[in-house]
Amino acid sequence: MLNFELYNPVNYIFGKGQTEKLTNLVPKDAKILVAYGGGSIFKNGVYNQVTTALKDFDLIEFGGIEPNPRFETLIKAVQIIREQKITFILAVGGGSVIDGVKFISAAVNFEGDATEILKKRILFTDVTKVIPFGTVLTLPATGSEMNSGAVVTIGATQEKLTLGGSALFPKFSIVDPTVIVSLPKRQLQNGVIDAFTHVMEQYMTYKHDALLQDRLAESILQTLIEVGPSVVENPSDYKLASNFVWSATMALNGLIQKGVPSDWATHMIGHELTALYEIDHARTLAIIGPNLYRVLFETKKEKLAQYGQRVWKLTGDSTDVIARQAIEKTVEFFHTMGMKTKLSENTENYKETADFIVNRFEERGWLALGEKQNITLEKVREIVEMSY
Ligand code: NZQ
Ligand code: ZN
């Protein structure tokens, strides 16, 4: 097992009716910016729950954080916080709103051009330099409610880039599984596949000695396979909803990645597809992931076979056979979950995509990705072209 440090200060508050606790979670005398997205919180009652719980606080609202949040939108909130002397931010929404708030929190005291936070991947480790924030999660998928990472798009250059650092964990996150009832089916499907792929990125590498992490990863995958197809049909079933939501958090709260190699290349390539074509984040992962396993078959086949045997209960004559079947099982599952796994099924203008992505990665110096740093630009091209 590799050495690791486990640090996660998020006060994670799970279950029905927990939003009431907001009153005692935000700091006394806080001046709060309540940040939200396109307005779903007004229709599903979450806005009322939040404002009722915070009725004695000084609130300023900032709406309009879009899916795949834009730098250009977030920077307006940064200005408001500076002018209004806001001391706490509450993100009410899905991954986009929470990620947006992480960026806002970091940018308020950042001197200079705030796009550099993204372009230079500046790490935020000093809690005194950021604005503290909490979250009320409305969409299980990203794990952003319990991690310190975020993804923000610079609209002007169509770049989807990451930021993070230990200062950017939420102070608390309220996670009430009943909020998923109002989610469109497409977003429920996305949530399951995003969480599934998060586990795969930290698991589908090579065989190693971290036995517990493997079992934890496999158990999350198995839970998502068990509840995923039913929860999208029946999100008001609390057993299904609560297991889905907790699995999505566990998939990316840092625990399963401790002491193990990881490979975030599916996400890195997928982010480009969203930046270029606005394809939903999870759907880009369903397009790229299986082809990445195919192209990197020799590197990953031992682990693919373990996954096939343990998660899909496959039996077969050889590692190669089980590993190949495991990839096909994954694609089948993605189809069951409503994913279209070819790029051409998601956008019409895809023919230049591989060139574009390879050039971009080259410009950024991303010449070798993956747990063995053997996903070269040529391999990236092969994966993307195979995905057409
Ligand atoms: O904006 P509103 O009106 O709230 O509507 C949203 C949005 O249209 C809607 N929605 C959310 N909760 C709802 C709801 N509609 C009805 N009922 C509810 N309870 O769903 C739509 C999508 O929301 P969004 O927040 O964009 O989805 P998601 O949570 O999947 O977040 C995706 C973003 O997170 C990033 C992605 O790249 C993408 O930008 N990621 C963040 C990660 C992290 N911080 O660790 C990791 C992930 O890999 C991912 O990259
Ligand atoms: Zn993701």
In a domain, 321, yes or no: yes
Question: pLDDT by residue (tens digit) across 170-211?
Answer: 999 999 999 999 999 999 999 999 999 999 999 999 999 999
Do 314 and 242 belong together in one domain? Answer: yes
DSSP code of residue 157:
G
Q: What are phi and psi of 109, to 5 degrees?
A: -100, 15
Question: In the sheet where 58-62 sits, what is the strand order?
Answer: 11-14, 172-175, 133-137, 88-93, 31-36, 58-62
Q: Judge if 75 and 161 occupy the same domain.
A: yes
Answer whether 243's CB lies under 8 Å from 180's CB. no
Residue 159 token pair? 């770049």
The amino acid at 291: N
Residue having the nearest C-alpha atom to atom 36 of ligand 1: 281
The answer to whether residue 168 sits within a structural domain is yes
* Domain tally, the chain: 2
| Residue 251 sits in the same domain as residue 364 | yes
Residues 162, 210, single domain; the answer is no
CATH number at residue 249: 1.20.1090.10
Average pLDDT of the chain, as a whole number: 97
Helix (H, G, I), strand (E, B) or coil at 235: coil
Query: Residue 8, Cα to own-chain centre: how many angstroms?
Result: 17
Percent of the chain with pLDDT over 90: 99
Residue 99 lies in a domain: yes
The reply to whether 2 falls in a domain is no
**Residue 242 Rama label (left phi>0; alpha psi -120 to 50; beta):** alpha
| Cβ–Cβ < 8 Å for 159, 276 | no
Same domain, 266 and 381: yes
Residues 107 and 195 in one domain: no
Domain assignment present for 5: no
Residue 14's φ and ψ, nearest 5 degrees, are -115, 140
Query: Do 53 and 113 fall within a single domain?
Result: yes
Token pair belonging to 77: 């909130």
User: Domain limits at 173?
Assistant: 11-179
- Report the atom number in ligand 1 closest to the C-alpha of 94: 25
* Of 157, 179, 201, the domain-final residue: 179
What is the separation, in whole angstroms, between the first and last Cα of the chain? Answer: 38
Using the mean position of ligand 1's atoms as its centre, give its distance from the Cα of residue 153 in Å.
Answer: 13
Q: Verify that 122 and 157 share a domain, yes or no.
A: yes
pLDDT (0 to 100) of residue 349: 87
Residues 282 and 323 both lie in one domain: yes
Structure tokens at 273: 């597809």
CB within 5 A of ion ligand 2: which residues? 194
Shared-domain flag, residues 106 and 242: no
> Which protein residues touch ligand 1 with a CB less than 6 Å away?
37-41, 44, 67-68, 93-97, 99, 138-139, 141-144, 147, 149-151, 179, 182-183, 187, 190, 194, 252, 267, 281
Question: Which residue bears the tokens 């053997």?
Answer: 374
Tracing tokens 């990620």 back to the chain, one arrives at 99
**What is the torsional sign of CA 96, 98, 99, 103?**
positive
Atom index in ligand 1 nearest the CA of residue 139 equals 12
Spans of the chain, pLDDT less than 50: none
Task: Using alpha carbons only, give the angle 235, 267, 263 rounded to the nearest 5 degrees.
Answer: 115
Domain shared by 301 and 350, yes or no = yes
pTM over 0.75, yes/no? yes
> Nearest residue CA, atom 15 of ligand 1?
183
Closest CA to 334 of 273, 277, 268, 288: 288
Helices of type H across the chain: 22-25, 40-43, 46-53, 71-84, 95-107, 115-119, 185-203, 211-233, 238-251, 265-277, 281-295, 297-311, 319-336, 353-364, 377-386
Q: Is residue 235 part of a domain?
A: yes
Name the residue at shortest CA distance from atom 31 of ligand 1: 95
Same-domain check for residues 295 and 193: yes
Q: What is the pLDDT of residues 88-121, one digit of tens each?
A: 999 999 999 999 999 999 999 999 999 999 999 9
The encoded tokens of residue 377 equal: 């630009």
